[in-house]
A and B are shown apart, each in its own frame.
Chain A
Amino acid sequence: MPLIRKPTPSNATPAPDPASVLRALANGTDDERWAAARAAPAVPGGVDALGGALATERNARVREAIFTALSRIGTARSVEWVLPWLRSDDASLRTGALDALRRMTTGVVPQLPQLLHDPDADVRLLACELARNLPSEDATRLLCGLLESEREPNVCAAAVEVLAEVGGREALPILERCAARFRGTAFLEFSIRITADRIRAQSSQPRE
């Protein structure tokens, strides 16, 4: 039979040497930096080394691994390192940062009110997406707070889209006011109508 069986490998792999991990992250080849990024969450000082490496890393695969590693750590410190990249002009960095923040809901929550009122409309728009994973009441409160004063229709549309999934009934009057402010902006009026219909249709009656 051409099928062969080899001995079961030992699962014991030596713990990475912290100094060599940090060295490889800064100066290694692509493969070494990728491996170091994956090992760094287990190394003291790893979060800052990973965060710092984001600024200089040019290889897309290693950058992805850094984002994954930072979100695995998931502390307020890793959120701090990722947040500035929401403002990046490089779409892949911006998306990488958004995906990483989405995976760190707990760490992101304290930053959300500020992000939703950031002077940069692109940041506010991306922040709406981060609210999606919050409990319904929290997401509704935050997004409604944004909708009350938001002047940028695209940002409103992003908030409305998230409310379509998570919004509670308390969002209905705010949606109405938002629609009134943007009368004539057809796509937003349409989006608000659909979202309001969805929220109204939520049954609150218990099943027999």
Chain B
Amino acid sequence: MSDGPAVTEEELRRLCDFLYRRTGLVYTEAKRYYVERRVFDRMTATEVTSFANYFARLRSDAEGEIEHFVNAFTVNETYFYREDHQLRSLTADLLPDRVRDREADRAIRIWSVPCSTGEEPYSIAIWLLENWPMVDQYEIEIVGSDIDTGALEKARSGFFGKRALMRLSPYLVEKYFLPAGFETWKILDDLRDSVRFSQVNIVEPAETRPHGQFDVIFCRNVLIYFDDASRRVAAENLYENLMPGGYICLGHTESMSRITPLFDVRRYANAIVYQRTAGNAYG
């Protein structure tokens, strides 16, 4: 199929309005080529021949089309130090706040959910060891959870390819990994053994609750895929899993304010995050 006749200006506006309301992703005429290419790819994949029919299919979420469509717009790759501005905020803003007035014997708890194949929780561990001067003063527990047991198995194995390590300096790769074959590295056992992995479905309170409460939760690029009802349940579960005053970091295209008023927005130099505030109307 060729690219065919372009999507009209008004059709593009309708589509972009829909995309914004559904996901918070903002696209305009300026990104026409980018949007069109993805629409045409999905039309080809679904064998739909007119934009009007495709848009109807999308709106009705036939055969999970919304998820496929959003997938086409988001980068699903996971790699070490992805969105590292949030890691900077973790050590510059969030943890200093969390340890203020805290007894030294109370562990700091950080949850990476979903953690996919482990790059995020291991990144958090490396980042803390490298960048937080107070790292030796506290016990730090990092938990990585995902619904996908295959991904968790890979995470536990600790093997990573070249693409996963592309954002790490040679110094960090040498310090925390061992070569393990052609363009493959294995994370050091000490580091691997310091992260706990578990299976969880974040819309199931019976599965999230046993994980207990955390100081900081990284929950990036997953809420965007849920329908409104599931998103609300997931947000309430995450609220329950945060200690009062704890923080949650979402993906850069996501906004908790669009889902629930439970959290307060906190704007730091490096990141916008959400806080479970004890004293607000929802505390």
Contact yes or no, A11 B207, CB < 8 A: yes
Which of A135, A165, A205 sits near B14, CB closer than 8 Å?
A165
Closest A-B pairs by Cβ, 7 of them: A207-B4, A201-B10, A3-B194, A206-B49, A61-B282, A9-B210, A198-B10
Residues of A near B240 (CB, < 8 A) are 38
Given contacts A2-B140, A3-B125, contact A68 B236 (CB under 8 A): yes
Interface-located stretch among B50-58, B77-85, B87-95, B161-169: B50-58
A4 at the interface (CB under 8 A from B): yes
CA distance A12 to B210 in the complex (A): 8
A197 at the interface (CB under 8 A from B): yes
Contact with B along A1-14 (1 / 0, CB 8 A): 11111101111110
Which of A4, A72, A104, A206 sits near B141, CB closer than 8 Å?
A4
20 A-B residue pairs with Cβ-Cβ distance under 8 Å, sorted by A, are: A3-B129, A3-B140, A3-B194, A4-B140, A5-B193, A8-B198, A38-B236, A39-B205, A60-B281, A68-B233, A71-B232, A135-B59, A135-B60, A165-B14, A197-B10, A198-B14, A203-B5, A203-B8, A205-B50, A207-B49
Q: How many residues of A contact B (CB 8 A)?
A: 42
Which of B1, B17, B49 sits near A165, CB closer than 8 Å?
B17
B107 at the interface (CB under 8 A from A): yes
Contact with B along A166-206 (1 / 0, CB 8 A): 10000000000000000000000000000001101111111
CA distance A178 to B260 in the complex (A): 36
Q: How many residues of B contact A (CB 8 A)?
A: 63
Contact yes or no, A6 B50, CB < 8 A: no
When A and B form their complex, what is the total count of cross-chain residue pairs whose Cβ atoms lie within 8 Å? 135
Contact yes or no, A164 B14, CB < 8 A: yes
- Shortest Cβ distance from B10 into A: residue: A201
Interface residues of chain B, those whose CB is within 8 Å of chain A, are 1-2, 4-5, 7-11, 13-14, 17-18, 40, 43, 49-52, 56, 59-60, 107, 125, 128-129, 135-142, 190-191, 193-196, 198-200, 205-207, 209-212, 227-229, 232-233, 236, 240, 260-262, 281-283
Given contacts A68-B232, A166-B59, contact A204 B210 (CB under 8 A): no
Residues of B near A6 (CB, < 8 A) are 141, 196
Residues of B near A203 (CB, < 8 A) are 5, 7-8, 11, 50-52
A117 at the interface (CB under 8 A from B): no
- Shortest Cβ distance from A202 into B: residue: B52
Determine how close the nearest CB of chain B comes to the CB of A26; give it in whole angstroms: 20
Most buried by B among A8, A74, A204: A8
Which of B209, B228, B281 sits near A102, CB closer than 8 Å?
B228
Q: Which of A53-89 contact B (CB under 8 A)?
A: 60-61, 64-65, 68, 71-72, 74
Which of A2, A71, A202, A204 sits near B138, CB closer than 8 Å?
A2
